[in-house]
Chains A and B, each alone.
Chain A
Amino acid sequence: MHRPTARANRVALLAFGLVLTAGGAAALARGLDLRPGLLGASHAPLIDEQARRYAADHWWFWAAVAACAALLALLALWWLAAQAHTDAIHHINAEPDPRHGATHLSARAATEALEEDLTASPYVRRAKATLTGAATVPRLTLTVTLTADTDPGAANRHIHQALAQLRHALESDRLTATTRIHIAPARH
């Protein structure tokens, strides 16, 4: 998943949580008559006559409500759509100086080569690589499933070796990688 999405999730949850907290606290304070001077009387109806009249007398009131609700719906849908967004890239720019032509490496070619390298080891049951970030500065996300009888040290060395091989092919020492290791349960 996109890293900025993780940050956006926390910011949006914080904003919505603060709105709920403030609203709930204010309603509770009014119901318990804690600040009658500021919030109004606790025995008043939720929607009083004054508010009702205000809404009835001003034609734009409901239009404004509709506009705000529509905006909120759009924001929420955008937030929802962001969850499915990955910043996977389709190709890597392999040529920093494109005056004589560009060189693009298909991201699938690179990840397939790495996966093939990894699954050559008997310890590695599955490997899935994804390139994310920017075409000039790609990042690698790698998920490797090892068998339960793995010697973790050897498997780790194998993974590092495969990554070193990919970095060599890309001529990029700066390719950062995040590796997630799963270990399948032993079969008895």
Chain B
Amino acid sequence: MTTDLVPTPPTALGPPETRGHTEIADRVLERIAVRAVTEVDQAGGVPRRLLGVPLGRAKAGPDPQVTAHVDGHLATVAMTVSVAYPAPIRQVSRCVRERVAARIGELTGLDACEVDIDVARLTHPAAPRTTVDHEAPSAPPQAVDRQRRRAAIRAFRPRRTLPAVLIAALLAAVALLATIQVVASLINRDAQVLPVTWLTRAGHDLRWDDPAVLAAAAAILAVGVLLVTLALAPGRPRMIALRSEDPQTTVGITRAGLRHCLTAAVGGLDGIDRAHVRLRRRRVRVNADSPLHDVGDLPQRVRQAVTGRLDELSPMRPLHVRTTVRGREE
């Protein structure tokens, strides 16, 4: 007689569907996910905020906020985390996602099919940060240069916000009042939102060749021509475009900013009291005053200071520099 070595399934429990079932609460998954996030190096938690104000004392390592939902054997998880800066966010979040899914799978047997990650903060490490190398590219070919110049012109072209706001506000006010007037007149003949009586009388009494009418027509024509000019003329750029070593970046400096920079460069020279910088479209004019009688080589030094600064900034359109140094008079 041979004995069966393979243990027979415990018959006492009956068929699987009658054995009861294990329910895993959402809260359990949330705890597991929180642990899993802390296992990833460059991910962390975020302090809870209410209306933008962090709640509670800022702990060293707050927990990530996690909500989980179980549906059958599938689980979805949403979490708010922080990532160390400048670690690659996509890679870190993929790591977190894999780790959370793996832990949930191991511990509960559920399939965490979707893990949504909100990165709410990028934390700067207290330690000296890792610097990303960025090599200075060599001088770009001329075509690229032209392309960049065009991008700069586009970026810094005036947007005509002031005339737009004025005209839009005026138009809106007049059109609204006219609408209200017409509707009011349809209801009540004598309604006067706009000075209708005066307008009617003027329309009846004035003739096309009246000087007032001619002046008004000329004024309307002038405003019209002005608006067309504003629309079509490129306008003075709001910034002076600078050459940028990075092709994805358009850099500009304000006119006042360039003036302040050059004033500081010249004013900082020994033997210069006061510097006055004027910027024209293509020219820089620097007037410097010296307390010395004999200015010696100061004019050259002032010129060098100005051109040196300009070389560092390197405007896309070179600026023509003129400098004058005035010594103390007897």
Interface residues of A (CB under 8 A from B): 1, 5-6, 9-14, 16-25, 27-28, 30-33, 40-47, 62-63, 65-66, 69-70, 72-73, 75-77, 79-80, 83, 91, 94-95, 100-106, 109-110, 112-113, 116-117, 146, 148-153, 156, 159-161, 163-171, 173-186
30 contacts between A and B (CB under 8 A): A1-B161, A10-B230, A12-B164, A12-B167, A12-B168, A13-B160, A17-B231, A23-B224, A27-B208, A31-B214, A31-B217, A41-B208, A43-B208, A46-B203, A62-B185, A69-B175, A70-B175, A76-B175, A80-B165, A101-B97, A116-B124, A148-B264, A160-B246, A165-B86, A169-B88, A171-B89, A173-B248, A177-B249, A179-B244, A181-B253
* Contacting pair A179 B251 (CB below 8 A): yes
A163 to B216 alpha-carbon distance, docked (Å): 55
Kindly state whether residue B183 has any CB partner on chain A within 8 Å: yes
* Contacting pair A24 B160 (CB below 8 A): no
Kindly state whether residue B116 has any CB partner on chain A within 8 Å: yes
A183 to B258 alpha-carbon distance, docked (Å): 7
* Contacting pair A100 B113 (CB below 8 A): yes
Within 8 A of A (CB), among B265-294: 267-268
A170 to B87 alpha-carbon distance, docked (Å): 9
**A-B contacts besides A47-B200, A110-B122, 4 pairs, CB < 8 Å:** A13-B227, A28-B218, A47-B203, A94-B90
Query: Given A24-B217, A32-B214, A46-B213, does the pair A169, B87 have CB atoms closer than 8 Å?
Result: yes
A173 to B88 alpha-carbon distance, docked (Å): 12
* Contacting pair A69 B178 (CB below 8 A): yes
Contacts of A66 in B (CB 8 A): 178-179, 182-183, 186
A60 to B86 alpha-carbon distance, docked (Å): 67
Task: Report the minimum CB–CB distance from A101 to chain B (whole Å).
Answer: 4
* Contacting pair A152 B261 (CB below 8 A): yes
A33 to B185 alpha-carbon distance, docked (Å): 35
Among candidates A16, A62, A148, A164, residue contacting B227 with C-beta atoms closer than 8 Å: A16
Task: Report the minimum CB–CB distance from B229 to chain A (whole Å).
Answer: 8
Task: Report the minimum CB–CB distance from B298 to chain A (whole Å).
Answer: 19
Main secondary structure of the interface of A (DSSP, over half): helix
* Contacting pair A14 B239 (CB below 8 A): no
Kindly state whether residue B257 has any CB partner on chain A within 8 Å: yes
Task: Report the minimum CB–CB distance from B235 to chain A (whole Å).
Answer: 10
Contacts of A151 in B (CB 8 A): 312
Residues of B within 8 Å of A, CB-based: how many? 104
Contacts of B175 in A (CB 8 A): 69-70, 72-73, 76
Closest residue of A by beta carbon distance from B203: A47
Closest residue of A by beta carbon distance from B250: A178
Query: Given A80-B169, A160-B249, A181-B251, does the pair A17, B227 have CB atoms closer than 8 Å?
Result: yes
A23 to B200 alpha-carbon distance, docked (Å): 20
Among candidates B232, B248, B253, B267, residue contacting A176 with C-beta atoms closer than 8 Å: B248
Query: Given A28-B214, A46-B206, A181-B254, does the pair A106, B121 have CB atoms closer than 8 Å?
Result: yes
A70 to B218 alpha-carbon distance, docked (Å): 28
Closest residue of B by beta carbon distance from A46: B203
* Contacting pair B253 A76 (CB below 8 A): no
Query: Given A20-B223, A20-B224, does the pair A31, B213 have CB atoms closer than 8 Å?
Result: yes
A184 to B168 alpha-carbon distance, docked (Å): 34
Kindly state whether residue B172 has any CB partner on chain A within 8 Å: yes
* Contacting pair B207 A21 (CB below 8 A): no
Kindly state whether residue B5 has any CB partner on chain A within 8 Å: no
